[in-house]
A and B are shown apart, each in its own frame.
Chain A
Amino acid sequence: MYAQMVESEGNRGDLTAQERAFQDRIDAGEKIEPKEWMPEGYRKTLIRQMGQHAHSEIVGQLPEGNWITRAPTLERKAILLAKVQDEAGHGLYLYSAAETLGVTRDELFEALHSGKMKYSSIFNYPTLTWADMGAVGWLVDGAAIMNQVPLQRTSYGPYSRAMIRICKEESFHQRQGYAIMMKMAAGTPEQKEMAQDALNRFWYPALMMFGPSDKDSVHSEQSMAWKIKMNTNDELRQKFVNETVPQAELLGLTVPDENLTYDEQTGDYSFSEPDWAEFFEVIKGNGPCNRERLQARRDAWSEGEWFRDGLTAYAEKSAKRRAAAALAAE
């Protein structure tokens, strides 16, 4: 997902009375709010997960930013700009929510820039054609929605509220992507081919977004008990495939999986697993665009420093001027 393989600080061994009471509140569906007592592991795991999620929103602007200046029409350009601006907004909601747990914004940025914290593997793939803007909106935002909708019910209040805001906006993202795919798929043979090519390249990376299979996922259990992970990776991946395959058929495009079959009994599609070796390489930093993405973030931060400092200096000067004026008026 936007947060993949988040290491959970498990409560190993028996719960203390305080931890038990905390777990009971979560089991009863209560929300936990900032400054209330919480296990240190809960706090740390949430910072990791929300931080990674926020980083993904911010880094996720880069593959789409690539096409803003090259959008085929002014309308498409305005839409893409609005979408990329939304991603910035989503990152900000999540950073703010994470900060309620006692981490600072600068610490989170520093952790991203140093590689200590990750962002979703999906954003390390390039966006080669305009059809990729369609595939990203449809598949990548579509996969993100699978995870974000249940996270609206997460136990941590600020996280839940951020997810509610994000989900309200995410549907626009997926629909604008699908609309691009519809246009391309109904276009010239070359345009349809571009759409098919985009689907071919993004299908398996989108499946990887949900993280490794549950049987290999060591972090799920504690996070699910704390309700900061609401579904298993495999459940969400299955749901995504079930919803997406008919959408591909509607476009007249072919999902690049020759093992794809529909089971009438269960209503589920069975499908090929993505190449997990590739996934782990991308996570380790060896995907097609890892270096480029991280460098873009580092450059944006360091090249913006003079500007941030200038604004700080201006605010201080204005405050002094106001104070002096107030004094003079007395």
Chain B
Amino acid sequence: MTDTAKPRKEWPLWEIFVRSQNGLNHRHVGSLHATDAEMAINNARDVYTRRKEGVSLWVVESKHITASSPSAKGPLFDPADDKTYRHPTFYDIPDEAGHM
């Protein structure tokens, strides 16, 4: 579609993170296009916090995020499957021991 049009530069994509209230993590809410970080913050305010959804914003240019590959899901996360002893319910403790 774009090869016939004159080549033009799209504004870079930014990932937007919102802290909904102090005490909570910033959370990814979506993305938007902006020329620079300042504009990304301003646009994020308009796009993602029109109803007091946040008290703080992080913006990160999407190209700076390194994601694990979907095909690495097994090697990365499967080893946790057979380590049930990491969970408190693995251990049988008599009730007499009290809350533990």
Contact = CB atoms under 8 A, between A and B. Distances in A.
A162 B70 contact: no
B11 A96 contact: no
B13 A99 contact: yes
Interface string B1-45: 110010011110100000000000000011111011001000000
A169 interface: yes
A36 B70 contact: yes
Contacts, number: 56
A82 B51 CA distance: 11
| B interface: dominant SS | loop
Interface in A177-231: none
A300 B27 CA distance: 33
A104 B12 CA distance: 11
B36 A319 contact: yes
A110 B1 CA distance: 8
Nearest to A162: B30
Contact of A106 (B8, B35, B36, B67): B8
Interface residues of B, number: 23
Tell me what chain A mostly uses at the interface: helix, strand, loop, or mixed. helix
Contacts of B2: 104, 106-107, 110
A33 B70 contact: yes
Interface of B: 1-2, 5, 8-11, 13, 29-33, 35-36, 39, 46-47, 50-51, 67, 69-70
Given A92-B47, A93-B47, A110-B5, 10 more contacts: A35-B70, A85-B50, A86-B50, A89-B50, A106-B8, A107-B1, A111-B1, A169-B50, A311-B11, A311-B39
